[in-house]
C-alpha cells in the first residue's frame, strides 16, 4: 500500500464537510445555493472554502456560465466519482464496527 497516497486522500477528506459535499454531488450537478440548502448545518463560508479545496484537489469541477446573475454549477470529476465509490465500502465498515450506544 502506498501510504503517501492514503495520507493525501485522508487529508482532503478530513474536513467535516467534504464527504457530505461529495455525497450530494454523487447525485448529479448542483448549484451553490442548492448545496447550501441540502447540507444541514454548513455555513456559506465553509461551503465556499470546502468547494474550493475539493476543486483544487481535482475531485470536483466548477462551471461558470456567463449569465446575469452568474450561474455556477458543481459536479464530481472522474477522480471524485472514483473516490466516492471507494468510500462506499468504508461506510459499510464504519456502520458494522461503530461502538454500541451505552
Q: What is the DSSP letter of 100?
A: P
49 confidence band (pLDDT: 50, 70, 90): very high
CA–CA gap between residue 14 and residue 5 (Å, rounded): 14
Helix axes 44-56, 18-26, angle to 10 degrees: 80
Per-residue model confidence as pLDDT tens digits over 19-35: 999 999 999 999 999 99
Domain boundary assignment for the chain: 3-97
Q: Residue 3 and residue 8: Cα distance in Å, rounded?
A: 9
Phi-psi region of 63 (alpha: psi -120 to 50; beta: other; left: phi over 0): beta
Query: Model confidence over 81-100: pLDDT tens digits?
Result: 999 999 989 889 989 998 87
Please give the average per-residue pLDDT across 49-77, as a whole number: 95
**Total residues belonging to the chain:** 102
Is the pLDDT reported for residue 102 higher than 80?
Answer: no
Q: Does domain 3-97 have CATH number 1.10.10.60?
A: no
Amino acid at each position: 500500500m502506498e501510504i503517501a497516497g492514503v495520507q493525501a486522500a485522508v487529508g482532503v477528506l478530513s474536513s467535516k464537510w467534504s464527504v457530505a459535499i461529495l455525497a450530494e454531488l454523487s447525485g448529479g450537478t448542483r448549484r451553490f445555493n442548492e448545496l447550501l440548502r441540502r447540507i444541514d448545518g454548513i455555513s456559506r463560508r465553509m461551503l465556499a472554502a470546502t468547494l474550493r479545496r475539493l476543486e483544487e484537489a481535482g475531485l470536483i469541477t466548477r462551471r461558470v456560465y456567463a449569465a446575469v446573475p452568474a450561474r455556477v454549477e458543481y459536479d464530481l470529476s472522474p477522480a471524485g466519482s472514483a473516490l466516492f465509490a471507494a468510500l462506499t465500502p468504508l461506510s459499510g465498515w464504519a456502520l458494522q464496527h461503530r461502538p454500541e450506544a451505552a
